[in-house]
Amino acid sequence: MNTYIGVDVGGTQIRVAIFPETGSVPIHQERISTRNTNESELDRLVSLISQLWPTEGKVLAIGVAAPGPLDSKAGVIFSAPNIPAWVDLPLRQVLKDRFCVPVALGNDANLAALGEWKYGAGQGHHNLLYMTISTGIGGGVISDDHLLLGEHGLATELGHVTILPDGPLCSCGQRGHVEAICSGTGIANYVAEEIQKGIPTRLPAKPRPTSKEIAQAARDGDALALAAMDRAAGFLGLALANYLHIFNPSIIILGGGVSRSGDVLFTPMKAAMHKYIIDPAYFKDLTITTAALGDNAGLLGALALAQEIQS
């Protein structure tokens, strides 16, 4: 039986899965922690793929999802969170030379979009907008059945778009990005600052509340937590209205921990989208939903990418 190999490199773990030629249920998969003091991360990745290499049939292609920034077209990782040794690493060429099969590399958020499109909440759509909202914010877009990549595969950095000049500081060093306001980090930072100012809340000052705790406190009726969710959701709705004007998708899929906040996020977010939209035509045939694949989105996106280069 011929197979595809999907690889998902994350900040905490590396996953490798063997998929049959058709279908998306792995025949076999393994995960190891990304960091290990004795061996280089690249050696461990290569030896994990070797261990799982099927003894029967042909491996048609390997797809790899990795955290950006990376050039998916050149197959080069510029840098990777938690793997300091991976600087300007030509990972595609390394794996191609070692395993002698076609290899494709993609940004994890782009590949999660591809995974949700092929195997998850976006099946059957032709124009899809995916945003993952957790510690940071990443995005991916399918436009007329094409993954939007740009010249060097650096497109759809949907978290790093300025919506509030001189706004809160972002992880990237800029100010007022969608990520700086609407990510879990942005929500937690806002609440910590408000607590510092003496705004009353049932949330403790220490340990610093997480965005998950803040969403729970909002569902329990805490006024500061509700204000924090309202603020993040309002800006998220503004950002999504911008993205409707830019991409005109038929489905918006929200993934990541913050997307599991429920109505305290979705109700004010949808109200803001309606407030900021320039024409109701953008809501025609539009589905707004949450991601279906959870932690598997990147791995299934890597599979979809491997299938694409092979076809």
Which residues of this chain interact with a second copy, rule CB under 8 A?
Answer: 69, 71, 78, 126-127, 143-144, 146, 148-158, 160-165, 172-174, 238, 241-242, 245-250, 276, 278-279, 281-282, 284-286
- Minimum distance between the CB of residue 146 and a second copy, rounded to whole angstroms? 6
Residue with tokens 């899929």: 253
Q: Taking a C-beta distance cutoff of 8 angstroms, is the pair 98, 45 a contact? A: no
Q: Taking a C-beta distance cutoff of 8 angstroms, is the pair 293, 9 a contact? A: no
Q: Which is nearer to a second copy, 179 or 222 (CB)?
A: 179
Q: Which is nearer to a second copy, 23 or 150 (CB)?
A: 150
- Minimum distance between the CB of residue 127 and a second copy, rounded to whole angstroms? 4
Q: Which is nearer to a second copy, 21 or 285 (CB)?
A: 285
Q: Which is nearer to a second copy, 102 or 167 (CB)?
A: 167
- Minimum distance between the CB of residue 167 and a second copy, rounded to whole angstroms? 9
- Minimum distance between the CB of residue 311 and a second copy, rounded to whole angstroms? 16
Helix (H) or strand (E) holding 226: helix 223-247
For residue 157, which of 220, 231, 246, 49 has the smallest C-alpha distance? 246
Residues in a beta bridge with 65? 8, 106
Q: Which is nearer to a second copy, 70 or 299 (CB)?
A: 70
Q: Which is nearer to a second copy, 150 or 294 (CB)?
A: 150
Tokens standing for residue 147: 């993954």
Q: Do the strands 287-290 and 251-255 form a parallel or antiparallel pair, or are they unpaired?
A: parallel
What are the E-state strand segments in 234-291?
Answer: 251-255, 287-290
Q: Taking a C-beta distance cutoff of 8 angstroms, is the pair 109, 74 a contact? A: no
- Minimum distance between the CB of residue 161 and a second copy, rounded to whole angstroms? 5
- Minimum distance between the CB of residue 134 and a second copy, rounded to whole angstroms? 18
* Residues with Cβ within 8 Å of residue 267, at least 6 apart in sequence: 233
